[in-house]
Amino acid sequence: MTSQWLQEKKCKSTDAEMFFLGSMTLRWALHQLDLCNTVAMASIIDSDGSVPAKVGAKLAFSTSGDRHGTVGGAGLELKIEHRLRSILNGSEGGIETFVLSKSSSDPSTTNLNSLCGGRVTVAFERLDPSPHILLMGGGHVAKAISEACELLGWRHSVFDERGEYASSESFPASVERIHASADEFLEIETATSLSRFSDILLLGHDWAIDQKLLIGLLSYSEDIPCRIGCIGSKTKWREFTKSAKGEGVSDDRLGLVRCPIGAPIGAVTVEEIAFAVCGEIISLIRTS
């Protein structure tokens, strides 16, 4: 068998297979978004002639370090892999046409040193997860924030030591309802497991509980990969920092927490506070 025969065999694929594999990659990408990971995805949207993969094939990379799918392998896949990594690092997406031959007279295409002879057009896109807010304390402010999350299409979960404040009746649309003590929560969760949340908001009815949770969160050996906010006054925050430093929490870790939370719009009512908090999160996302 000649090397040309082997390369031409690579260029053969079926449409049904490509759409099936592409749908699996899309499902994987959606799962990554649920885990609050950003995804860069390449999709073949047009093809002509003999090519490694047909319309429907997808390749995706995640900020988790994982990947899924294929666009046929060989030089085409290497080019697309490089573009996907650059998108995860901040480059823009777009559409690019690749010609699988040794030469091309079309300056608008990217030429590959290939014997397939066909061409493929690939759409590159970056998929950012929507926020998933962990409401630590299921009181009236948390309830209002949960309703604001529903309007924004965001996900939310709730934690409370009191069972009735972390119930399906109080938070019917929540992803998770965690009824546990602060100590149990800190024992079960890790910095890595908390990465499923984009934001952790401490809204407890008892400052002693909030303080225990905050010190525990800031004492993990790893950095927590999500934003942390705490409701309360500047005086309350000064008292907390004294306690946290006494427990060995560094200034760098304390600097990760926003307190008081909420955009400075003069919010007074519970509903206004909820929209101020969500507005601040939107601002943080847009400026990051």
Could you tell me the domains of the chain? 3-127 (no CATH), 132-287 (3.40.50.720)
Give the dihedral sign, CA 139/142/148/153: negative
Length of the chain equals 288
pLDDT digits (tens, 9 = 90+) for 130-141: 999 999 999 999
Structure tokens at 211: 């303080």
User: What are the CA-CA distances from residue 161 to residues 201, 237, 254 (Å)?
Assistant: 15, 22, 24
Q: What is the pLDDT of residue 181?
A: 96
The Cβ-side half-sphere exposure at 254, using a 13 Å CA radius, reads 16
User: What are the CA-CA distances from residue 27 to residues 23, 30, 55, 60, 69 (Å)?
Assistant: 6, 5, 17, 11, 11
With b for 16 or more beta-carbon neighbours within 10 A and e for fewer, the 52-74 pattern comes to bbbbbbbbbbbbeeebbbbbbeb
Give the dihedral sign, CA 85/91/93/96: negative
Closest to 124 measured CA to CA, from 157, 153, 86, 73: 86
What lies within 8 Å, CB to CB, of 14 at 6+ separation is 54
Q: What is the pLDDT of residue 37?
A: 92
User: Contact 112/98 with Cβ under 8 angstroms?
Assistant: yes
Q: What is the pLDDT of residue 20?
A: 79
C-alpha 182/C-alpha 157 separation (Å) is 16
pLDDT digits (tens, 9 = 90+) for 190-199: 999 999 999 9
C-alpha 245/C-alpha 191 separation (Å) is 20
User: What are the CA-CA distances from residue 53 to residues 16, 73, 118 (Å)?
Assistant: 11, 9, 10
Q: What is the pLDDT of residue 193?
A: 94
Q: What is the pLDDT of residue 14?
A: 61
C-alpha 122/C-alpha 56 separation (Å) is 10
C-alpha 54/C-alpha 44 separation (Å) is 7
Q: What is the pLDDT of residue 97?
A: 87
**219, exposed or middle or buried, with CB in 10 Å at 0-12, 13-18, 19+?**
middle
For residue 258, give the 3-state DSSP assignment: strand
Q: What is the pLDDT of residue 112?
A: 62
Q: What is the pLDDT of residue 28?
A: 96
pTM for the predicted model, two decimal places = 0.81
User: Contact 278/148 with Cβ under 8 angstroms?
Assistant: yes
Ranges of residues in the chain with a pLDDT under 70 are 1-15, 101-117
Q: What is the pLDDT of residue 222?
A: 86
User: What are the CA-CA distances from residue 199 to residues 82, 85, 134, 148, 185 (Å)?
Assistant: 31, 25, 6, 15, 16
Q: What is the pLDDT of residue 7?
A: 42
Q: What is the pLDDT of residue 8?
A: 44
What lies within 8 Å, CB to CB, of 70 at 6+ separation is 21, 53, 57, 59, 77
Q: What is the pLDDT of residue 135?
A: 98
Structure tokens at 217: 């969160």
**255, exposed or middle or buried, with CB in 10 Å at 0-12, 13-18, 19+?**
exposed
